[in-house]
Structure 1
């Protein structure tokens, strides 16, 4: 999975947590609680030989550095948006003047007029040179496990279907876009500065039902519309809307990523990965570490002949069944 697809999967997972918690403060409490329970982020590294935690003050600096990084990104985006908005009105006037008085160009562009006022296209079509090769689709993160169509691309994972629609650079405001997500229907209309009416991009029945309350869309000004449809059932789609060519479901990659798994499944996989790494490095595996912790207590117990001596795990040969996994 590419980094863009991975980020999209992360966003969906984190958004679900945010919606469930109902606020940013509670969401952050969940994130830091996870770091506390499952990592050594808050542990102090008091000894240079210690292999976990951070030196005092370093964890706080890490948090501050990432806060500063993303705050600067947002500040830059806001500054660019303000500059774009301040230039929008003069640009629109110039376009109107050019369109109002162009007698020669009207004749030149007359043959193209039907393309501007063509009827709504409710059934998606493929361009003449389009391919229906799933291998090509799989190489594009925006059509991974999906397809590239005439006016949009769609991809999917175990839980969601993502749709990307490229828009004209004049489409910079949300009011220029109309997206209607129903349980079994999707309609997308766009209005650029060059058109008087909204242009229908998609208007059709979805192949399968979606959870419209959890589905969402966003506009990246002047670039594209991103739509995330949350599947009602975890099944693989062969088309986005009715009338579209079906993809070859045998050629997609229907694997479940770590982000699609529940906590218990992730825990098992993380444990197996950890044990494999420890085995390669010649270090104790998870079952051995559990036994070592129990043996250490007995090692230092009152009356133990080993009390006061450094614990030596090499004295014990521990089988995987020595402790409950």
Structure 2
């Protein structure tokens, strides 16, 4: 993955990573992500019960608060839209809330959970290696198509979409031999 940023020295990179870590440590929550979802862990006072919490997940906004405290723990817009019906939360050991937030547009790394939070450098994310067999059918076929198209481009051959267009044109020409396509530009 190429970046638009100039190359950083080891010292600059270490400083950037340390700054990013300090900013993330200062957040009132911890978070991780995979391409399809985020996991946000919010500490709450020991002994907190679910009825003590007010949690609202909408397509664009997240609210996590204690009913006894007027200041919310999180009250901000998401970086991007989420799938509300696929997002959940649980209260774990009466001391932390774990939110699983489904990204509406999967297959994308988020630089932060909510807009007011400091960003991380998504170019440094090292995803876990996975096997094609680990992916669901739709994602697997998309990845296989991307891999095929990349190989085709490297060999100077047409991609799957270009091959599909050529096939459609050939079929149309066969059905309409009376038309002259010799000067047609196909894009």
* TM-score normalized by the length of structure 1: 0.34
CA separation of 1:246/1:174 partners in 2, compared to 1, >3 Å: closer, same or farther? same
2:61 counterpart residue number: 185
| 1:246-285 paired onto structure 2 within 5 Å | 246-255=119-128, 257-258=130-131, 261-263=135-137, 265=140
- Name the Cα RMSD after superposition: 2.9
Q: Does 1:155 align with 2:32?
A: yes
Shift of 1:215: 0.4
Contact 1:176-1:190 at 8 Å conserved across structures: yes
- Partner Cα separation in structure 2 for residue 230 and residue 176 of structure 1: 24
In structure 2, runs of 5+ residues without a counterpart are 1-17, 142-187
Q: Which of 109, 116, 123 matches 1:236?
A: 109
Shift of 1:198: 4.6
CA separation of 1:253/1:212 partners in 2, compared to 1, >3 Å: closer, same or farther? same
Q: Does 1:221 align with 2:93?
A: yes
- Partner Cα separation in structure 2 for residue 222 and residue 247 of structure 1: 29
- Partner Cα separation in structure 1 for residue 38 and residue 88 of structure 2: 11
Contact 1:159-1:260 at 8 Å conserved across structures: no
- Partner Cα separation in structure 2 for residue 240 and residue 188 of structure 1: 13
Structure having the higher helix fraction is 1
Shift of 1:149: 3.9
| 1:59-138 paired onto structure 2 within 5 Å | 131-133=18-20
Contact 1:157-1:256 at 8 Å conserved across structures: no
CA separation of 1:257/1:149 partners in 2, compared to 1, >3 Å: closer, same or farther? farther
**Larger gyration radius, structure 1 or structure 2:** 1
CA separation of 1:256/1:149 partners in 2, compared to 1, >3 Å: closer, same or farther? farther
Structure having the higher strand fraction is 2
CA separation of 1:155/1:148 partners in 2, compared to 1, >3 Å: closer, same or farther? farther
Contact 1:132-1:247 at 8 Å conserved across structures: no
